[in-house]
Amino acid sequence: MNSHNHIWFPYTQMANAPAPLKVIKADGLYLYLEDGRKIIDGISSWWTCLHGHCHPRLMEALRQQTTKLDHVIFAGFTHQPAEDLASELVKIAPWNDAKVFYSDNGSTAVEIAIKMAIQYQINTGNEHKTKIATLKGGFHGETFGSMALAGKDGFFKPFKKYLFEVVELDVFSDDFEKQLEEAFSDGDIAAFIYEPLLMGTSGMRIYPASKINQIIDNCQKHGALAIADEVLTGFGRTGSLMASDQAELKPDIICLAKGLTGGVMPLAVTLATPFVYQAFFGKDLSNALLHGHSYTANPLSCAVALENLKIIQTPEALSRIQNISAYHRNFAPKIQAKFGERIHVRFVGTVMAIEMQGIEGSYFNPIRAKIYDYFLANGILMRPLGNVFYLLPPYCISTEELDFVYEKIISFLHAHVE
């Protein structure tokens, strides 16, 4: 019996899954395995790790906080790390005087945003605004509310009949503006939630900032709230601190998680504009946002996130992000030219994706396992999304290490698309 035999792993067919790899240490770009191997974390451990594993400043911030306060109920009580972090988050929010609602993962940040939007409409006398609009193929998390926002025929099929209906618009279609006009014409959209610039889980699909402006413009005209799900895109992934920074119009609510603590501790926030916050004011409790979690604003997580916010805003972090972006920008056209129509290469900021053409794009496609195994055998963790594989590295990756990964990408393609 293996020591992992008592564990039911996520996204895993336990009947035939290969034995999981045991990680005993992580440092910078690398995961160190019990069997002696050293693996490049090409996907930043589910898109969380920003600067590299066990970053000394983040570890030190955590150590310091462990000497002061572990955890405390966050209703009726507050603490310094949560207050300091909120003050810093307000500075990077696109509006003055944002309000920070804490939770502990991306899905809950989204649940809270949706609950805020629905109740905002009720509290402001717009009960008829009941619908949520989303982008077709979007992904917003694993809880029932966030599952409802995504396409329901893939992963979420078993739960389909329990998930509320949403209005889905195709951001890649030529008539997106027309779809927006139609969707908003009945005046019943409460909120529009979207992954800004980069739709991660559905295959690292990238759309221009002008589409964000179109979404927000329609929201503003029709009294709907625009919710930017920056759970993946936040903290430099798309080149700017937030993907929303690349659009002129600003959302009303922003969800952040994953990179918020640099990939060290679970923490999430839902940021709201002051006018959303003020709609929850009232004489009694029924107007308030009645939501919270046991580990809301965990002090250890907040302390690490505060340090991460300092690091991510240093010129050094910015230049690392710019270097990775420039490297991808240079490499992408080269392999596109080399493999022509057999692949589609795309990139935004620090993320580069390669879609293998002529292969069905489902997450259940066996090509997934082939890609995964190939890169792992070459010392790189890649976790493909069906026929799409991508590099989403911690920002500490060097140009030599990028060259190494690129070289393996080319050799994989030579072996599999020629």
Neighbours of 209 (CB within 10 A): 18
Judged by CB under 6 A, does residue 200 bind ligand PLP? yes
Contact flag: residue 217 with ligand PLP (CB under 6 A): no
Interface mask toward ligand PLP for 221-260; x: CB under 6 A? --------x-xx------------------------x---
Q: Among residues 208, 206, 212, 205, which one has the least CA distance to residue 227? A: 212
3-class DSSP assignment, residue 38: strand
In this chain, which of 81, 106, 234, 239 binds ligand PLP, going by CB under 6 A?
Answer: 106
CB 51 within 8 A of CB 260: no
How many C-beta neighbours within 10 Å does residue 363 have? 16
Task: Let me know: does 353 contact 389? Beta carbons within 8 Å.
Answer: yes
Q: How many whole angstroms separate alpha carbon 33 and alpha carbon 23?
A: 4
Q: Rounded to the nearest whole angstrom, what is the least distance from the CB of residue 198 to ligand PLP in the complex?
A: 9
Of the ranges 103-111, 209-217, 330-338, 392-400, which one interacts with ligand PLP (CB under 6 A)? 103-111
Size of the site for ligand PLP (CB under 6 A): 15
Least gap, CB of 108 to ligand PLP (angstroms): 7
Per-position x/- string for 121-140, each x denoting binding to ligand PLP as judged by CB under 6 A, each - no binding: ------------------xx
Q: Tell me the per-residue interface mask from 51 to 90 with ligand PLP, x by CB under 6 A, - otherwise.
A: ----------------------------------------
Question: DSSP character for 260?
Answer: G
Quick one: which of 42, 52, 137, 141 contacts ligand PLP (CB under 6 A)? 141
In angstroms, the CA 44 to CA 289 distance is: 33
The Cα 147–Cα 154 span in angstroms is 11
Site for ligand PLP in 346-405 (CB under 6 A): none
Query: What are residue 183's phi and psi, to 5 degrees?
Result: -60, -40
Could you give the CA distance from residue 407 to residue 414 in angstroms, rounded to a whole number?
11
**Which of 105, 244, 261, 301 touches ligand PLP (CB under 6 A)?**
105
Stretch that binds ligand PLP, among 129-137, 169-177, 194-202, 395-403 (CB under 6 A): 194-202
User: Please, what is the minimum distance in Å from the beta carbon of residue 268 to ligand PLP?
Assistant: 7
Minimal CA–CA distance to 378: which of 350, 336, 338, 409? 409
Instruction: Give the up-direction half-sphere exposure of residue 121: CA atoms within 13 A in the CB hemisphere.
Output: 24
Question: Does 195 contact ligand PLP by CB under 6 A?
Answer: yes
The CB-of-98 to ligand PLP minimum distance in angstroms stands at: 19
Instruction: Please say whether the beta carbons of 88 and 306 come within 8 A.
Output: yes
Least CB distance from residue 231 to ligand PLP, whole Å?
A: 4
Which residues contact residue 286 at a Cβ distance below 8 angstroms, ignoring those fewer than 6 apart?
none
Q: State the DSSP H helix or E strand holding residue 346, giving kind and residue range, or none if neither.
A: strand 343-348
- Decide whether 29 or 114 has the Cβ nearer to ligand PLP: 114
Q: According to CB under 6 A, which one of 142, 168, 217, 245 is a site residue for ligand PLP?
A: 142
Q: Which residues bind ligand PLP (CB under 6 A)?
A: 105-107, 110, 139-142, 195, 200-201, 229, 231-232, 257
